[in-house]
Amino acid sequence: MTSSPRVRFDSSLWKLPPSAGQAQAAPVSFAQQGWKSASLQHQQDGRIHRLSGQTMGTNWSLRLVNADYRPMHPVQALVQQVLDEVIAQMSNWEADSVITRFNQSNPGQVWTLPGEFAHVLGAALHWAKLSGAALDPSMGALVSLWGFGPRQNPLQPHLAQTPPKAEIAKLLQTSGHRHLSWNAQTRELLQPGGLELDLCGIAKGFAVDWVVQRLQAAGWAAGLFEIGGELRSWGQRPDERPWQVQLGTGLQTDDSALIVAVKDGAFATSGDYWHQFVVDGQRYSHTLDPRTGLPVQHDLASVTVFHEECMHADALATVLTVLGPQQGMDFARQHEIAAVLSSHGQEGASHQYGERQVLKTPAWIKRFEA
């Protein structure tokens, strides 16, 4: 593996050769201008060692309890190896990834997916069916049509153009999980012709889970791992306190942040701050509603979800973002999802919180505020 990790703009994910280099990564920054992603509080204990790097167009950061001061080079290599494996399986930005080759394959071709890919696809389909397709892993063609898919220069601003309605309608007829012929037992997936998978609404969370699982298997009893604001903790700090996690609500001020204590579990946030464009005064989010083929139109600005697994937190953050404030809250109540929904602050919402309105689900209040 080279000393410069492959960088991707969207949440892609999985697979690489077994050898892993020891890249010197740039220091991680949890702060985003105008947006506060998840961060850690009170991490001054010298027994907590830090590593960071780059992946999927963002930063990853690890806080690892290392009271015995074991060497950290093998840990850096392990983390980067897992992340590269994710990219090689599930990155639409990688020309030779499994997902890209499936998307470009001929009609009628049957693919036997790697176990990790199959696991993520199965989870995505579970939430697709349960949410009425608020999350759909087979909308890659529409994502690309809107300009949010792979492009030659990932850092290039959006072209700020809306696609023709006829093209959207055409792709809606050929996209969607109803067109997937998937055998979970054999991990076989049929390409019906022109269907494109996109796992950006779930795969980054799975990457977090997989890194944590590999670290646990290597004997690391406690830590916190984060990719671009999605994180998972396990164990506890050396002083036996839980991890303190700061979660952003999309507001501009630090005092708007939510600070929660957590020992084991994961957080994921979905929001429209990073990827959006404006045409004729209309803001278009990067989050597409698979049911309409259009960017979400409601007032919801961000959603943060807590779950035992980051993969499911990631998927559910996307689901609630698409459903919007009212339907999202109803879905969260029905399925006992711990979540915080922050709106842009228009009239008609409740619970003023700074310049925006923040709604907390009963499951969130019970877990973190009761």
Instruction: Return the percent helix, strand and coil in the chain, to nearest 5.
Output: 30, 25, 45
Residue 264 marked as a ligand binder:
no
What is the Cα–Cα distance from 285 to 263, expressed in whole angstroms?
33
Phi, psi of 179 (to 5 degrees): -90, -5
| Beta pairing class for 230-234 and 258-262 | unpaired
3-state secondary structure of 187: coil
Query: Which residues share a beta bridge with 342?
Result: 302, 358
The per-residue DSSP string of 67-116 comes to TT---SHHHHHHHHHHHHHHHHHH-TT-TTSHHHHHHTSPTT-EEE--HH
What is the Cα–Cα distance from 367 to 160, expressed in whole angstroms?
41
Q: Is 320 left (phi over 0), alpha (psi -120 to 50) or beta?
A: alpha
Phi, psi of 111 (to 5 degrees): -115, 135
3-state secondary structure of 254: helix
The per-residue DSSP string of 308-341 comes to SSHHHHHHHHHHHHHHHHHHHHHHHHHTT-EEEE
Token couple for 87: 């990219």
**Amino acid occupying residue 101:** R
Indicate the angle between helix axes 203-217 and 73-90, nearest 10 degrees.
150
Query: Which residues share a beta bridge with 223?
Result: 64, 234
Q: What is the DSSP letter of 174?
A: H
Residue 176 marked as a ligand binder:
no
Instruction: Say which residue the tokens 């009212």 belong to.
Output: 326
Residue 201 marked as a ligand binder:
yes
Binding residues: 201, 314, 318
Binding residues for Mg(2+): 201, 314, 318
